[in-house]
Each structure stands twice: as structure tokens, then as C-alpha cells.
């Protein structure tokens, strides 16, 4: 730190901005920012490598506010250090369309690395960021050229550590020895309900030591020098580090500090006045003196740090031009130029082979075809690799001492999904990870966060229905596909064969503005014949798979139920009833098509029947109240798949009856 300004005054600027913004909004959480202000001084003034003028500088440190309710701490830091976040935005805290929403949101506020708020996911995103950094460094760094070399810092509180996902993520981080990950724990003993000792008595240091972390105990979180020394120690460790900082929530408030009353409510004018007096802060609300701004200003330092890195990168580019170009491409999120050629060749091969295989196997084949042209692929599975089939011939398992491109996440579905989001946020990789569809429930909030953040995370879900068979109703998906379709900005693909599976993968990879789920069968599904136009239309989410002159009805199906639709239409044709088949692998994508195209697929006035091995209610938006839906509105049973499909009414006879009923 070059400034001679007392660190207490620097911290008090954060406290003042936090309590003033919350008071003006009459909404928010002043306690954490006031309690962690000194920790923030130690990190941001002495260690945090960043450039406020270029928030997306590739080799910046990443900072994650896992306890995101304390967002004013982060906004105060961004404002004071020189980011494009004006005092007017601070005054506008928690107001419509401001850059200072209630919880930090990536791409809304310059300098925010991830959207936090759901506790535990911030630290888990950070694990993904640190993992991405470690793998990229192993892939691209050369002796004397550490072009990827930065830390991931996390602020977290008791709430994050109570969430089960923190166990999933931090356990894996310790196993993989993510030494560039440093978490600072705000150990204030308070949550919204009060003193946590009544429900949270974990020995947190021992817990993290058991994960394989470096733990620095009992640091005075209000002693900037002590926190600074702890961070220095952490940076020298070959393990991830947890720095346990004892703090007082609402530090500075003479009547409310140390209580849950200051956690999530404005202090009130009277207490704010008393706090100002106690801190010796004589300035008006939202008034920061010039000497404080000067002490916090990181623009020149940030410019110099980035310039030094740019010099290193220039030398690296001269010596390793291929690697430098590849790193730039991948960090920009651009796809390789030969991707389309590889996709077209693979789809042509699928058409030629006409294989009847499970779509989970079709997915693996697609991965195998794409991986050689997508070195940014970073796959994985939550323990079920041999079932989910997310590995490929050339993939290398990631280990603590081994860089690779396939992660064994262990039985950690939620952790996997949020780590993937962190990898996507960091940049340089396209992450995908898999589990059984039923266990998407464990991952659901991370899927929602991926959609909210518009991340290119690809979630692979196999064993997609009662077709799973003998494992029974605990493992059989019923409501899952429809419920995933309810998440805004999440594209869900349920393909019916090798070609649709290839297109689903292609579209997920090419999508830059949101995540995708790829939903695959356990059982074999037959290849469907298509012409070139039909293949081209798969990417539109729904298309006419089989048409008939003077069709009297439309059958809509997805995934494994396409086979039943085809058999039923063939039988109906024998009875003189012409029926169109519409395959709709992605209702989300289909819904975004123009009205003319949708009308060409689902012709107005034709009765419709939908078939899907899941809940029926979703499909009435397409078939209308007069249409028919063949689905399942109960839980499944344990039996072979073929027996189950017959038991639950997925038969030609039932489809024919449903069609005839709509025509009556």
C-alpha cells in the first residue's frame, strides 16, 4: 500500500457507503459490509491484481462475494477503486435498472465476476474459476512465460458454510489442490435468525483441514495487518487456503454491532448518526473525501500491472505464436473455424450408418467427433461416467498433479453444476457435466443460475424416463423435462436418434447466450430417415419428420417416443388415416421461431396429439384443450423398460385411440 491514509479511514468509507445506501433504499444488508470492511482493505489495497479500466483483463485476479447479500461491500470497493460505477449508482442501490442490484449480478456491474446470492454457490463458482486457471496455466504457460497466473479470492460467511454445496465444492478443491484459491471466512457467528451457535457448531478449521486445505486460524478480521499477513501466507501455500477471520457484524454501530438486527435491515437515521460519530466520520451521506479516493484509487496501479502482462504476452506471442493465438481465441469465447466442417462430416456419417443405439451413446459419439476440433472441451460426470458416457478416447482425467480435460466430480451433482458455471465464467473452456436426469433436481439452482447469467454451460442428463427400467421410480424421470422447460433462458434438447443428438450438441456448443441441457436415453432408439431440409430444420427445435398428403392430425413427440409415433402413424395409414409426425427435440428453441415457420409445422386447425414419457400438463400448450396427450402423471415402477412402456400405456393402440378421439 502506497497510501499513508489510516486503513481505518479507508474501511470506514466502505461502512459509510454501505449504511447510507441501505438506508436510502430502506432495504439491504449493512452488517456484513461493515464487518468485513477491514478485510476488504487488506485484500483490495495490498493483493488484489486488477485493472478498473479493463474489468475483463484476461489475467486479472477473480474476486467472488459468496455472501452476496453484502453486495454494498463490493459496490463500494468497485466505486472507490475506480471502476465505472458512479456515486449516482451507489445512491440508486436496489432500484430498477441500476448497476447496483440487491445481489451482485455479472454483466450488470463492471467488475462483478459472478452472480451471487444463493449461498454456497459463490464459493463453488470460485472453485470452478480456480480450476480453470490451473488447467489453462498447465496448458499454455511455458518456462519464463506464466501468461496465465492469477488468484481467485472469495469472501464467504456462516451461511455459505452451512449450505451442503460448500462441502461438495471445497472437498473437491482440496483433492485437486487448487492452490490459487483463497477464501476469507467472515466468522461473525450471526445469521438472520440470530447467533448461530444454536444451529451451527461445526469446527470449521478442522473441517477444511480434513479437505486438504491450508487453514489459517483465528485472524483478527479488524486488524488489516493481520489479514494482510494471512493472505501473504496463503499465497505461498501449495493448497487452497481458508483464512478464518473473527469479526463483529455491523462493526462501528454503537448499539447494533454484534447483533442480527444489523444483518438485513437499515440502521435508521438515529443509529447512522451515532455510527458516524463513533467512527469519526464527519462527512455527509454519499460524500467521500479526496484523500480517501486517492488512497483507494487503483487505476494507475492496474494500468501498470496489465501493461506488464501485455509485455510478457507480446514476448510469448513471438516465441509461441500458435499457443498465443489459441489462448486469445478461447478466452474470447470464439469457436474454431473448422467446427462446422467437423459437424457436417459427423452428421453425414450418422446418416450413412443409420445406427440404432441409445442416445447416450449417440451423445458420446458426438463428443468424440467434436473433441478433436474443440480443445476447450472440459467434460466430466458426477461419478457415472460409464453410464453417462461423457468421456472420449483421448480425454485425460484431471488430478491434483495431472492436467487434463475430463473431471471426475464424484457424487456431487450440485457442486459439479456450479463448478461448471465458474469454469464458464472464467473463460477458456466449454464445460459439460453429466448425471442421471432424475438427479437434475440436485443441480436445479445451479442450472437456474447458469440461465440467469447466460453461461455456455452444457448439462448432460441421461437415463431420461421410465426407459431407465429396473432401477425404479427413485431413478425414473417423470416431471423433470417439463420442469426444466420452465426455467427461462435454458434450452432443453431431447433428441430421438444419432442425427438429432449431433445437432443438439452442435447447438449447445454454438450457443453463447445461455446454457443447454442435453437429455438422452438409456435404451436403444432407431435411426430416422430425413432429407437435407429436415436435417437443417432440426436446429429450429421442431420440424416435420414425416408428412402425409391431406394429413388429418398431427402427432408431436420427442426423444424415445418418436419411435412410437412412427409405428402408430404407419398403423393409422393402414386404416386410411393420414397423420403428420412432428419431432420437437427442443420446445424452447421451437418457441423462438417466427410465426410462419411454427404455423408450417403445426398447421392451424389440425387436431394434435403429443407423446412424451413424462407429465402431460406441459403439452396442452401445443395440442390445446381438445387435443390428446399420452404421458405419465404418476411415478414409475421397477421393471424392464419394455414392460414399463406397455404398462404405462405407451402403445400403438393407445396412440391410435387418442388420435381417433381428437378426430371424432
pLDDT digits (tens, 9 = 90+) for 408-443: 999 999 999 999 999 999 999 999 999 999 999 999
Q: At 194, is the secondary structure helix, strand, or coil?
A: strand
Could you tell me which of 155, 170, 251 has the C-alpha nearest to residue 204? 170
Phi, psi of 324 (to 5 degrees): -65, -45
DSSP, residue by residue, 467-495: GG-TT-TTT--SSHHHHHTTSTT-EEE--
How much of the chain exceeds pLDDT 70, in percent? 100
Residue 166 to residue 184: CA distance in whole angstroms: 14
Backbone angles phi, psi at 372, to 5 degrees: -60, -25
Question: pLDDT value at position 635?
Answer: 98
Joined grid coordinates for residue 521? 436415453
| pLDDT band, residue 4 (cuts 50/70/90) | confident
Q: Enter the C-alpha cell of residue 496.
A: 430421438
**Contacts of 86 by beta carbon, 8 Å cutoff, 6+ apart:** 79
3-state secondary structure of 37: helix
Whether the CB-CB separation of 30 and 266 falls below 8 Å is answered with yes
In this structure, the number of other CB atoms found within 10 A of the CB of residue 311 comes to 10
Q: Looking at residues 322-330, what average pLDDT do you find?
A: 98
350 with 499: CB under 8 angstroms? yes
The structure's pTM equals 0.98
| Residue 287 predicted with pLDDT over 80 | yes
For the question of residue 394 being annotated catalytic, the response is: no
Looking at residue 2, its pLDDT comes to: 52
What is the pLDDT averaged over residues 194-206?
A: 97
pLDDT tens for 524-541 read 999 999 999 999 999 999
Distance in angstroms (rounded) separating the CA atoms of residues 155 and 157 = 7
Mean pLDDT of 200-217: 98
Task: Flag whether pLDDT at 269 surpasses 70.
Answer: yes
Q: Which of 413, 500, 506, 563 is catalytic?
A: 413
- The residues, any chain, with a CB within 8 Å of residue 386's CB and separated by 6 or more, are none
Q: List, in order, residues 6 or more apart from 441 with CB less than 8 Å away.
A: 480
SS3 626: coil
Alpha-helical (H) ranges within 3-57 are: 7-25, 31-46
Share of the chain above pLDDT 90, in %: 99
pLDDT digits (tens, 9 = 90+) for 49-108: 999 999 999 999 999 999 999 999 999 999 999 999 999 999 999 999 999 999 999 999
Residue 1's pLDDT band (cuts 50, 70, 90): very low
Residue 396's Cβ-count burial label (10 Å; 0-12, 13-18, 19+) is exposed
The rounded mean pLDDT for the chain is 97
* Alpha carbon distance 399, 386 (integer Å): 18
Q: How far apart are CA 493 and CA 228, in angstroms?
A: 49
pLDDT digits (tens, 9 = 90+) for 14-30: 999 999 999 999 999 99
The yes-or-no verdict on residue 325 having pLDDT over 60 is: yes
Amino acid at each position: 500500500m502506497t497510501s499513508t491514509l489510516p486503513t481505518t479511514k479507508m474501511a470506514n468509507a466502505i461502512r459509510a457507503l454501505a449504511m447510507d445506501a441501505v438506508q436510502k433504499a430502506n432495504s439491504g444488508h449493512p452488517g456484513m459490509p461493515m464487518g468485513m470492511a477491514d478485510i476488504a482493505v487488506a485484500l483490495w489495497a495490498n493483493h488484489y491484481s486488477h485493472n478498473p479500466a479493463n474489468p475483463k483483463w484476461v489475467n486479472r485476479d477473480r474476486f467472488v462475494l459468496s455472501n452476496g447479500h453484502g453486495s454494498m461491500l463490493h459496490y463500494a470497493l468497485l466505486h472507490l477503486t475506480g471502476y465505472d460505477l458512479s456515486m449516482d449508482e451507489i445512491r440508486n442501490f436496489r432500484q430498477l435498472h441500476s448497476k447496483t442490484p440487491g445481489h451482485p449480478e455479472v454483466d450488470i456491474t463492471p467488475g462483478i465476476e459472478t452472480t451471487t446470492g444463493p449461498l454456497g454457490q459463490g464459493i463453488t463458482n470460485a472453485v470452478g474459476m480456480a480450476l480453470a486457471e490451473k488447467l489453462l496455466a498447465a496448458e499454455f504457460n511455458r518456462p519464463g512465460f506464466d501468461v496465465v497466473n492469477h488468484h481467485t479470492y472469495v469472501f464467504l460467511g456462516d451461511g455459505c458454510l452451512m449450505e451442503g454445496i460448500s462441502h461438495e465444492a471445497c472437498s473437491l478443491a482440496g483433492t485437486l489442490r487448487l492452490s490459487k484459491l483463497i477464501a476469507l471466512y467472515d466468522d461473525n457467528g450471526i445469521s438472520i435468525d440470530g447467533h448461530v451457535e444454536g444451529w451451527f457448531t461445526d469446527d470449521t478449521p478442522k473441517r477444511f483441514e480434513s479437505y486438504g486445505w491450508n487453514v489459517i486460524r483465528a485472524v483478527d478480521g479488524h486488524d488489516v495487518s493481520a489479514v494482510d499477513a494471512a493472505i501473504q501466507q496463503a499465497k505461498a501455500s501449495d493448497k487452497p487456503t481458508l483464512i478464518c477471520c473473527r469479526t463483529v457484524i455491523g462493526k462501528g454501530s454503537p448499539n447494533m454491532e454484534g447483533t442480527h438486527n444489523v444483518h438485513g435491515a437499515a440502521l435508521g437515521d438515529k443509529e447512522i448518526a451515532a455510527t458516524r460519530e463513533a467512527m469519526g466520520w464527519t462527512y455527509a451521506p454519499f460524500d467521500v473525501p479526496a484523500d480517501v479516493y486517492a488512497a483507494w484509487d487503483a487505476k494507475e496501479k492496474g494500468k501498470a500491472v496489465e501493461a506488464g502482462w501485455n509485455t510478457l504476452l507480446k514476448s510469448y506471442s513471438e516465441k509461441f505464436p500458435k499457443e498465443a493465438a489459441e489462448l486469445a481465441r478461447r478466452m474470447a469465447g470464439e469457436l474454431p473455424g473448422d467446427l462446422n466442417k467437423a459437424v457436417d462430416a459427423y452428421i453425414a456419417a450418422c446418416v450413412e450408418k443409420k445406427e440404432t443405439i441409445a442416445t447416450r451413446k449417440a451423445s458420446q459419439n458426438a463428443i468424440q467427433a467434436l473433441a478433436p476440433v474443440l480443445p476447450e472441451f472440459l467434460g466430466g460426470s458426477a461419478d457415472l461416467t460409464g453410464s453417462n458416457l461423457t468421456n472420449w478416447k483421448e480425454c485425460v482425467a484431471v488430478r491434483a498433479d495431472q492436467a487434463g480435460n475430463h473431471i471426475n466430480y464424484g457424487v456431487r451433482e450440485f457442486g459439479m453444476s456450479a463448478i461448471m458455471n465458474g469454469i464458464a465464467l472464467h473463460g477458456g473452456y466449454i464445460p459439460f457435466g453429466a448425471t442421471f436426469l432424475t438427479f437434475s433436481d440436485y443441480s436445479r439452482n445451479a442450472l437456474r443460475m447458469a440461465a440467469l447469467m447466460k453461461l455456455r454451460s452444457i448439462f448432460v442428463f441421461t437415463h431420461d424416463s421410465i426407459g431407465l427400467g429396473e432401477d425404479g421410480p427413485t431413478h425414473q424421470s417423470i416431471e423433470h423435462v417439463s420442469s426444466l422447460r420452465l426455467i427461462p433462458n435454458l434450452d432443453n434438447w431431447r433428441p430421438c436418434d444419432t442425427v438429432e443428438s449431433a445437432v443438439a450438441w452442435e447447438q449447445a456448443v454454438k450457443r453463447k447466450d445461455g446454457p443447454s441441457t442435453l437429455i438422452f436415453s438409456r435404451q436403444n432408439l432407431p435411426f430416422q430417415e430425413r432429407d437435407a431440409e429436415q436435417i437443417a430444420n432440426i436446429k429450429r427445435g421442431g420440424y416435420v419428420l414425416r408428412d402425409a398428403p391431406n394429413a388429418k392430425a398431427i402427432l408431436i413427440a420427442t426423444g424415445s417416443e418418436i419411435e412410437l409415433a412412427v409405428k402408430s402413424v404407419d398403423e393409422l395409414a393402414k386404416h386410411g388415416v393420414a397423420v403428420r409426425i412432428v419431432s420437437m427435440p427442443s420446445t424452447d428453441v421451437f418457441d423462438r421461431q417466427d410465426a410462419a415457420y411454427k404455423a408450417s409445422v403445426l398447421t392451424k386447425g389440425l387436431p394434435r396429439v403429443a407423446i412424451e414419457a413424462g407429465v402431460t400438463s406441459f403439452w396442452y400448450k401445443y395440442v390445446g384443450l381438445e387435443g390428446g396427450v399420452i404421458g405419465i402423471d404418476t411415478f414409475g415402477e421397477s421393471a424392464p423398460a419394455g414392460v414399463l412402456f406397455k404398462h404405462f400405456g405407451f402403445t400403438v393402440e393407445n396412440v391410435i385411440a387418442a388420435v381417433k378421439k381428437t378426430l371424432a
